[in-house]
Amino acid sequence: MMISSGSGCKDRIQYLKWTLTIFAPNKALFKLQEQNIVRNRKVTMPMTQQRATARAHPNIAFVKYWGNRNHALRLPSSPSLSMNLAGLHAETTVTWADELDEDIFTLNDQRMTGESLSRVSRHLDALRARLGIAKFAAVESHNNFPTGAGIASSAAAFAALTLAGTAAAGVSLDERELSAIARLGSGSAARSIPSGFVQWHAADQHEQSYAESIAPPDHWALVDVIAVVSQSHKAVGSTEGHRSAETSDLQGARVAGAAERLAICRQAILERDFTSLAEVVEHDSNLMHAVMMTSRPPLFYWQPASLLIMEKVRQWRAEGLRVCYTLDAGANVHCICVKDDADAVTQALGRLSEVQEVRTAGVGGGAVIIEHSLPT
């Protein structure tokens, strides 16, 4: 196997040990995989293929996830709440195949290597451990939105990978467990499994930290109008960012107030109360960026254009448009608005020379299987 060299091998075994602690019944499988990683041996089994394709949407958080209580298991420091983004998706096909002697990952028809492949392979390890599979997989993924458009692709990617990998194995897991497993690949992926408006629980145990829908997509016609101000790749990715959160003196205060902000946000969504929603969404985004900026070393994701748009959004709201802003680990500004005001917001953003591109997305559904074939 390709993954048997150097320190990557140790990391891989450490990760398998973690998955073993949460999926305890599969000890024999862990042994098999550990031997294969260490001794560079192939698994020989009868030739069969199991394949499934799943689709999942990215999501935008209204109450943010930033920082973990357990980094290996991506157990978040605080609960979060998001909306899935309709029209944007990752479509992923997983084929578990006897004839493979390593995992293969292609993204938008490009064969991936290095850290992208390792991250997918680690997630496949978790699926292998949970599903009792001792085969490698071919993973083919396509995003219908460009990277660098201000939309985090990892949430959709790991939600689709989890569902496709599970379905391809002929196993049907409930939504909670799918969400908890997706979380192991990328925390926010937990929120891309359920439909519509979604709450992700913070907990000390793997099984308890899953996301669930609080309202379906048609509950409230909100739109995310994304102002793209930078296409450049973020300097510090979220995995590293989550680790740095605890170095900020402000993280404790952010986490302490998270449950209350979530309750306010949840209530605002359930009551379709845009005024309350706008206040808590902007405040929560500002709090997360305050933590980022006061981490050591500091992380500055905002650019001058981001701040300008944030000010404009507040001005437009004062003038009557139902719009508020939120920013993830990047400079692009997500302008959350009610559908009736989405055109006006899009046009106003289009008039700003700092805005390179505007993309819109309504409220999306949950992850779904779109194709499934088991060996005959």
Q: Interface with ligand PMV by CB under 6 A: which residues?
A: 61, 64-66, 80, 152, 154-155, 186-188, 238-239, 242, 328-329
Q: Give the nearer residue to ligand PMV in terms of CB position, either 90 or 155.
A: 155
Q: Give the nearer residue to ligand PMV in terms of CB position, either 61 or 268.
A: 61
Q: Give the nearer residue to ligand PMV in terms of CB position, either 52 or 73.
A: 73
Q: Give the nearer residue to ligand PMV in terms of CB position, either 152 or 278.
A: 152
Quote the least distance from Cβ 148 to ligand PMV, whole Å. Answer: 15
Q: Give the nearer residue to ligand PMV in terms of CB position, either 133 or 280.
A: 280
CA distances to 53, 73, 86, 194, 238 from 210, in Å: 22, 12, 21, 10, 19
CA distances to 5, 208, 287 from 252, in Å: 39, 22, 11
Quote the least distance from Cβ 183 to ligand PMV, whole Å. Answer: 8
Q: Which of 134, 97, 98, 104 lies closest to 118 in space, CA to CA?
A: 104
d(CA 286, CA 99): 50
What single-letter DSSP state applies at residue 108?
Answer: T
Quote the least distance from Cβ 272 to ligand PMV, whole Å. Answer: 22
Residue 293, Ramachandran bin (φ over 0: left; ψ between -120 and 50: alpha; else beta): alpha
Phi then psi for 350, rounded to 5 degrees? -60, -25
Quote the least distance from Cβ 224 to ligand PMV, whole Å. Answer: 12
Quote the least distance from Cβ 154 to ligand PMV, whole Å. Answer: 5
d(CA 197, CA 216): 6
Q: Give the nearer residue to ligand PMV in terms of CB position, either 37 or 120.
A: 120
Strand partners, 51: 95, 373
**Encoded tokens for 53:** 């394709």
Quote the least distance from Cβ 59 to ligand PMV, whole Å. Answer: 7
Quote the least distance from Cβ 51 to ligand PMV, whole Å. Answer: 27
CA distances to 54, 157, 198, 285 from 317, in Å: 38, 34, 25, 17
Q: Give the nearer residue to ligand PMV in terms of CB position, either 84 or 121.
A: 84
CB 46 within 8 A of CB 65: no
First to last CA, the chain: 29
Q: Is 21 exposed, middle or buried (0-12, 13-18, 19+ CB in 10 A)?
A: exposed
Q: Give the nearer residue to ligand PMV in terms of CB position, either 154 or 244.
A: 154
Quote the least distance from Cβ 242 to ligand PMV, whole Å. Answer: 6
Supply the DSSP string of 232-263, one letter for each residue.
Answer: SPPSS-HHHHHHHGGGSTTHHHHHHTHHHHHH
> What does DSSP say about strands 104-107 and 136-143: parallel, antiparallel, or unpaired?
parallel
Q: Give the nearer residue to ligand PMV in terms of CB position, either 51 or 334.
A: 334
Sign of the Cα pseudo-torsion (48, 53, 58, 64, in order): negative
Quote the least distance from Cβ 64 to ligand PMV, whole Å. Answer: 4
